[in-house]
Structure 1
């Protein structure tokens, strides 16, 4: 009988590196909670129509939208010019790989301090960096141990995939990027950590900014799709007030709405429970279990049988 020695080589981790995280709304909501942000969550928008006010149950306000898209070098004439009138906006450049997801979230939150309780961690970070230039702010974020640790805690645990990815050439891999859209100073603003300054889009009132944003995003998506030969690799995540709290407040204001809103509250709660379980599964290290299973199969002879069947096939 052949003997098998099961060995897993774990890659060395750079203590200062930022890992790739998945663009799941539950991941972003959990990051918010770990950062100490209060009564705020992230949901996925499946269509641009979802941006329109009151189109989704419990969504009465949108703090901002995070746009994930397949990164393609854009001709300068197709990109809005950075704005010189962005004084008063918080903007940090992206100065490290893989940080753009949390970068987009932090850029949005630090511009939403009047409407969002960002908590002590981000509050202290804002006080520490508000007087710095965008590049220095980006460096400060990249080197912030607590924020980086929270970000990396949501990286899927799969060192085998990490090794394979590192061994393969990356020239053919698609790159994805996150940018933030929000309303301030009578206009829609785009914060892209790869640009020098914030980008000002269309002027609009706060009451109609979500509808105006849907038009801005439609144009952006059309441009990206055309440059990608019709590809549609993008995702929209909305940062909003906690829907359960909003619906409870609606019931308190008018108890006749309870029959309508109570099922929505229960549905959201069930979805959150499943999201929590999925986040745990995503981060769990299954390698010890897999190793034990393979060793048991080798001891029983089942592993050799599978190998022989594979070789015969």
Structure 2
């Protein structure tokens, strides 16, 4: 789409994402942390509780050709389509936060609480349209995109990696990807098993594209 809005891609870096969410009004006790590996001992190092997990994976012919899990609508899930180029990091953050409003007490005077209040009753497509014109969310994304350890690419850059979020809702593990038409269901899950269940799905992502190395996993954890 020639006139598609483009944002600067976010770096897959907990420090970057934490500055973003704390500016939006997430309490400092909640932070993104690196998941250093998928083995049980490394998963055990991640602070608990874990409210959501964000996966960055490479978009390749193999990843596009194979779908893991099944699309499943759930009215209890907050889902938003991605219509802004390179905004997958922000969409993943919105999915991680909005589906944990029962756990995370967003600061009322900050922007995410207002964004959530205005978009709760909207459809996934209406939320996407609202995000396109929400100057506060756009400015917060742009400011954060400049914070990475590497020089930020231009907003029109074609990026071959993609962020998705995983959350536990109504006893199930769901993958939330703004490029999809609906959430993806990955089977039963509890809040305590969210990280371990997501790690198993992440292994499936890696196995379908074994020559690719550009995968990162971050958990949204309560650290204080």
Relative to the length of structure 2, the TM-score reads: 0.85
214, 221, 224: which one pairs with 1:240? 221
Please state if 1:21 is matched with 2:10: yes
Alignment correspondent of 2:119 = 129
Q: Which moved more, 1:44-53 or 1:20-29?
A: 44-53
Question: Within 2, Cα distance between the matches of 1:116 and 1:202?
Answer: 24
Structure with larger RCO (C-alpha < 8 A, sep 6+) = 2
190, 211, 218: which one pairs with 2:175? 190
CA contact (8 A) 2:30 2:220 kept: yes
Q: C-alpha displacement at 1:208, in angstroms?
A: 2.5
CA contact (8 A) 1:93 1:196 kept: yes
Question: Within 2, Cα distance between the matches of 1:180 and 1:162?
Answer: 23
Q: C-alpha displacement at 1:106, in angstroms?
A: 0.9
CA contact (8 A) 1:66 1:181 kept: yes
Unaligned segments of structure 1, at least 5 residues: 1-15, 246-313
User: Going by fraction, where is strand more abundant, 1 or 2?
Assistant: 2
Alignment correspondent of 1:212 = 197
Relative to the length of structure 1, the TM-score reads: 0.62
Question: Within 2, Cα distance between the matches of 1:50 and 1:142?
Answer: 40
CA contact (8 A) 2:72 2:182 kept: yes
Q: C-alpha displacement at 1:133, in angstroms?
A: 1.1
Q: C-alpha displacement at 1:161, in angstroms?
A: 8.1
Residues 174, 109 of structure 1: CA spacing in aligned structure 2 closer, same or farther, 3 A cutoff? closer
CA contact (8 A) 1:104 1:179 kept: yes
1:46-72 deviation per Cα after TM superposition (whole angstroms, max 9, x unaligned): 10136877x227x12111111001112
Alignment correspondent of 1:179 = 164
92, 95, 118: which one pairs with 2:80? 92
**What is the alpha-carbon root mean square deviation over aligned residues?**
2.6
User: Going by fraction, where is helix more abundant, 1 or 2?
Assistant: 1
Q: C-alpha displacement at 1:79, in angstroms?
A: 3.6
Larger radius of gyration: 1
Unaligned segments of structure 2, at least 5 residues: none
Please state if 1:143 is matched with 2:133: yes
